[in-house]
Chains A and B, each alone.
Chain A
Amino acid sequence: MNPYILAILLFGLGLGTTITFASSHWLLAWMGLEMNTLAIIPLMAQHHHPRAVEATTKYFLTQAAAAATLLFASITNAWLTGQWEIQQITHPLPTTMITLALALKIGLAPLHAWLPEVLQGLDLTTGLILSTWQKLAPFALILQIQPSNSTTLIILGLASTLIGGWGGLNQTQLRKILAYSSIAHLGWMILVLQFSPSITLLTLLTYFIMTFSTFLVFKLNKSTNINTLATSWAKAPALTALTPLILLSLGGLPPLTGFMPKWLILQELTKQGLAPTATLAALSALLSLYFYLRLSYAMALTISPNNLTGTTPWRLPSTQLTYPLATSTAMTICLLPLTPAISALLTP
């Protein structure tokens, strides 16, 4: 892509999120979200094959519908109460509409159907931007609204963890697996939103680090399905040995970083008297863990049958920067002892 255009689009992406972060007026927040949607559209369609264009179209339609619902809800609130402040919405009707609009924006179940298909049509870098950066702006709004209906949020959360787990079980394409993993993690984030928004923020940030590592691992191996992943031991042996740890961190196993959000969320839910909800969420994490384990199995725990010439591929120097991957892998694996510091940092 023309570097000037790329610069303008990336600037638009950054500006959109910044505007939503900095806004206290719903109209400005909506403008930031629309700017994000607009700026990523050409990035998604840059490889001009029909699958990418299909993914772009689906993304545009869902995000536009969500943004229109958001605008409608904020105007309804302005009509009913005269308030345009983001944090001052108390009427239940606009609050519920805004929650559902933002759920469609980030891909929470039952509004999740677009995410696997959109992510499947993109290359790994754009998919990474979609999974991480594009979630920041809606979450800034989600963290600020006062939720009115406790049941809605818990249903969104549990449905997302369950659908994220069950949906990912039958997948062999890595991008769809990551999409369902995203849905499951978003479910965990929403579960605890009404009790402790700082834990939601912590979950979001740890999810970012873990999924950043995973996307970059797949990008380094140039693999988009499990079969290609099975030959990564010959391309980057050290990384192949570390990737199961990254995947198990995504699955939420101690002593890895991914355990931190699940631990804090289960603790908070139990303290609030929602032990059955906590149990159901923990059990649904087992479903996600299964497909993370399957990826680890294919990558590092077995060597797939291959002919002799396939066992030593050309070890050409990779053009991809490995420093970000190294940093995020270290953070994905070793950050659990810093739990008190991180949760203190994120509590206002």
Chain B
Amino acid sequence: MVYIMFMFLFGLVLGLAAVASNPSPYFAALGLVAVAGMGCGVLVGHGGSFLSLVLFLIYLGGMLVVFAYSAALAAEPYPEGWGSWPVLGVMMAYMVGVCAAAGLFWGGWYEGAWVSADEFAEFSVFRGDIGGVALMYSVGGGVLVMGAWVLLLTLFVVLELTRGLSRGALRAV
């Protein structure tokens, strides 16, 4: 268990460095996928299985896919990945920084559940994440409406920004 958690965390930091090392959007989107996937694994290891599944579905499967398509639309003839020296150089610098930080903060391994749970003998279990979702749809209805309004606003903002095809501010590729 410790080994697989270590692999997930390693993959997370590696993907983080891959995104931050400024490659082409193709490879940066790949790095984001790696980070999100590994992050979900870390979450599972700490007990947040429902949250991890939801994150995988909505973030990876919804938003990141859309982002990857958009990145694919902004195609470059010579995409720069780890094969080109500028990107690899920044990547190496980040790895050195990570090793330095690891050396500084070494020690201790946190193993515990991040999700609180409440039991009523053998009758019911209330988990923090699932119960939270239930509360969001019942008591937290107002914030849900506000969240839906903000999403609609974002839609209008994006549509307004991309209005006009070739005459607009953001030209169609």
Q: Say whether A48 contacts B164, CB under 8 Å.
A: yes
CB distance from A68 to the nearest CB of B (A): 15
Asked whether A8 is an interface residue with its Cβ less than 8 Å from the other chain, the reply is yes
Q: Say whether A12 contacts B153, CB under 8 Å.
A: yes
Secondary structure at chain B's binding surface: helix, strand, loop or mixed? helix
Q: Which residue of the partner chain B has the closest CB to A53?
A: B169
Given A41-B161, A48-B164, A53-B169, residue A8 in contact with residue B153 (CB < 8 A): yes
Q: Say whether B164 contacts A9, CB under 8 Å.
A: no
Total interface residues in chain B, CB < 8 Å: 16
Total interface residues in chain A, CB < 8 Å: 21
Given A45-B169, A48-B169, A53-B169, residue A35 in contact with residue B157 (CB < 8 A): no
Report chain B residues within 8 Å CB of A42: 156-157, 160-161
Contact of A9 among B156, B169, B170 (CB under 8 A): B156
Report chain B residues within 8 Å CB of A41: 157, 161
Q: Say whether A1 contacts B160, CB under 8 Å.
A: yes
CB distance from B167 to the nearest CB of A (A): 7
Report chain A residues within 8 Å CB of B147: 31
Report chain A residues within 8 Å CB of B160: 1-2, 5, 9, 42
Within 8 A of B (CB), among A309-348: none
Asked whether A162 is an interface residue with its Cβ less than 8 Å from the other chain, the reply is no
Q: Say whether A34 contacts B170, CB under 8 Å.
A: no
Binding site for B on A (CB under 8 A): 1-2, 5, 8-9, 12, 15, 19, 28, 31, 34-35, 38-39, 41-42, 45, 48, 52-53, 56
A-B pairs with lowest CB-CB distance, top 7: A48-B169, A42-B160, A45-B169, A53-B169, A12-B153, A38-B157, A42-B157
